[in-house]
Amino acid sequence: MRWLPCLLACQALFAQGELRFNLRHEPKTLNPILAAEDASQAIAYLTGGVLIRVNRLTQELQPELAESWKVAPDNRSIVIHIRKGVRFSDGTPFTAEDVAWTLQTATDPKLHSPAGESFSAKGSPARGQVLGPDAVSIVFAAPVASLERLFDQLPILSSKSPLKEKAALGPFMVASYQPGIEVVLRRNPNYWKKDASGKQLPYLDAVRLPIQQNREIEFARFSRGEIHLINQLEPELFDRLKKANPEAAFDAGPSTDVDFLWFNQVAGASIPDYKKDWFRSRNFRNAISRAINREDLCRVVFRGRGRPAVGPFSPANKFWFNAKLTPSRFDPTAALKLLQQDGFSRKGDVLFDKQGHAVEFSVITNAGNRIRERMAVLIQQDLQAIGVKLNIVTLDFPSLIERITKTFQYESCLLGLTNVDLDPNEMMNIWMSSSEDHGWNPSQKTPATPWEAEIDNLMRAQSAAGERLKRKALFDRVQEILRQEEPYIYLAHRNSLSAVSPSLRGVHPAALFPQTYWDIEHLSLK
């Protein structure tokens, strides 16, 4: 009963039109163009105005601050006509100059702005050229496939406002920030959007973002009505919510997140040669993949709210997902047959390779991630059925990053990937064999295998192709090769689950970030 008076007091404290939801980490920056991690990106999404937006439901481009645009046929430049009469939150007019200036700032090599990084091609940054008060042309050093989608990630800053990056073009602006406690956003009085009836948006007066890491406590706060939204709800909590308050639980179907397992194929890694031979063998990788029961993984770990994965993209990526591919089917007998082709044999409960080594390897994953730890334990049991011993090692995140990016002291790794962008061009760094992000064998001088060479060529071709359907055909082939070779053994896509308070109106949860509040300007509280 003790919290009842507290609750009443809280309600009196909070403003009527104030939306509240948690940030799960301390935002590392409030400057929208520097936002790199979730918390900063959430604030950047709410405060930053962008030229072109990827609609989170339809996944099509829609004009925001750009009234219209035209991409040159060579895919190297774009001319953008900006919306007239728009003002920043402090009243400074928005001009084409601001666009050029933002681009210049974001691509400053000293700032390490992730948004700015995407505007580099062939190592040199794109440049903006002001064509008039309402028009700007942006020229890249090399052709970039579907370059207009890049603008979704580039919030425009003011070149003239005395408030600098604090002057906002988005629906909200930062009102206060207490490190470790909360960020409060207030509605931008000069926001340009109006609803159908001509009323100025956003409907909400403020957004309060307490910084709160613990999921159980976040859930308890939601149940008490202290916060209105939870994005990326854990399946267990979702089930609990579904029982207690079914109209607050939303399942937007598969998200773009994917969990996967891969083997270390780095030539110089400090693992025994015979293990390197296993990991480089397609049969071995396919066999492990077939021995993993993905259906169980989804049912047990995601409580049925996930689906087996076939590749890097989930069906949530409407355009780029290759729907012709089917996930590896659970079949231990077929797995053993594949292994026999490589000379493996099973004696009793243990699998031996052709030189007589018992098959045993370790998998590293990040500690404290309940979902991934459980996945690992399920896989451990699945592999035991074909005589493979899997040792699970959970590491804290910096230790894990060090092992997979610097020292390569690991055998296999279980990790997840959140696709920020829907376009495969953004994944160039992962697929090119010369890249540092080429997880299983990074920074190769020449492609180690013919199929990696083929992926390299396909990725280059799709980037240069320009035409979307042609690119799609090329990337479909990449997904096909990945499915055959399984350098990454894709496991499952979790569903995009969220909790939305019934008092919040106008919510259309989407599979993409920021799931519940992507159209924040249209949300309102009862």
Q: Find residue 136's DSSP bridge partners.
A: 80, 130
Cβ neighbours of residue 376 closer than 8 Å, sequence gap 6 or more: 363, 365, 390, 392, 414
Residue with tokens 């370790």: 362
Shortest distance, CB of residue 8 to another protein, whole angstroms?
Answer: 13
**Nearest distance, CB of residue 436 and another protein, angstroms:** 6
In the complex, the smallest distance separating the C-beta of residue 365 from another protein, rounded to whole angstroms, is: 9
* CA–CA gap between residue 154 and residue 118 (Å, rounded): 10
The stretch near another protein (CB under 8 A) out of 71-79, 109-117, 278-286, 451-459 is 109-117
Within 407-436, which residues bind another protein (CB under 8 A)?
409-411, 420, 426-427, 429-430, 435-436
Say whether residue 245 binds another protein (CB under 8 A).
no
Instruction: For 62-120, give the secondary structure using H, E and C.
Output: EECCEEEEEECCCCCEEEEEECCCCECCCCCECCHHHHHHHHHHHCCCCCCCHHHHHCE
The verdict on 277 binding another protein (CB under 8 A) reads no
Smallest gap, in angstroms, from Cβ of residue 421 to another protein? Answer: 9
Among 10, 17, 18, 29, binds another protein (CB under 8 A): 29
E strand or H helix that includes residue 384:
helix 370-384
User: Hey, what are 370's tokens?
Assistant: 């309940």
User: Of the candidates 58, 405, 457, 503, which one interacts with another protein according to CB under 8 A?
Assistant: 405
| The residue to which tokens 């974001």 are assigned | 106
Q: Which of 90, 69, 71, 92 is nearest to 81 (CA)?
A: 69
The CB-of-519 to another protein minimum distance in angstroms stands at 25
Give the contact letters, 144-183, x = binds to another protein (CB under 8 A), - = no.
----------------------------------xxxx--
DSSP β-bridge partners for residue 263: 412
Say if strands 124-125 and 120-121 run parallel, antiparallel, or are unpaired: antiparallel
364 binds another protein (CB under 8 A): yes
In the bound state with another protein, the residue whose beta carbon lies nearer, of 96 and 227, is: 227
State in angstroms the smallest separation of the CB of 394 from another protein. Answer: 5
Smallest separation (angstroms) from another protein to the CB of 257: 14
Q: Residue 274 or 397: which CB sits closer to another protein?
A: 397
Determine, following the binding rule CB under 8 A, whether residue 381 of this chain makes contact with another protein: yes
CB of 236 to another protein, least distance (A): 7
- 285-304: contacts with another protein (CB under 8 A): 296, 299-300
Encoded amino acid at 205, one letter: D
Neighbours of 348 (CB within 10 A): 7
Asked if residues 332 and 342 have their Cβ atoms less than 8 Å apart, the reply is no
Cβ-defined contacts of 194-200 (< 8 Å, 24+): 195/522
380 binds another protein (CB under 8 A): yes
Interface stretch with another protein, choices 165-173, 212-220, 252-260, 278-286 (CB under 8 A): 212-220
How far apart are alpha carbons 274 and 484 in whole angstroms? 23
Stretch that binds another protein, among 41-49, 71-79, 113-121, 319-327 (CB under 8 A): 113-121
Terminal CA-CA length for the chain: 26
Nearest to 44 by CA among 109, 95, 106: 106
User: CB 460 → another protein: shortest distance, Å?
Assistant: 16
What is the DSSP pairing of strand 488-500 with strand 504-505? unpaired
Q: Which two tokens stand for residue 321?
A: 């997902």
Q: Is 247 in the site for another protein (CB under 8 A)?
A: no
In angstroms, the CA 19 to CA 225 distance is 11
**Nearest CB to another protein, comparing residues 377 and 481:** 377
Check residue 112 for interaction with another protein (CB under 8 A).
yes
> By CB under 8 A, is residue 184 in contact with another protein?
no
Q: Which two tokens stand for residue 251?
A: 């399942």
Between 204 and 359, name the residue whose CB sits nearer to another protein.
359
Q: Which of 131, 325, 334, 393 binds another protein (CB under 8 A)?
A: 393
Helix H or strand E encompassing 480: helix 468-485
58 to 97: interface string for another protein, x by CB under 8 A: ----------------------------------------
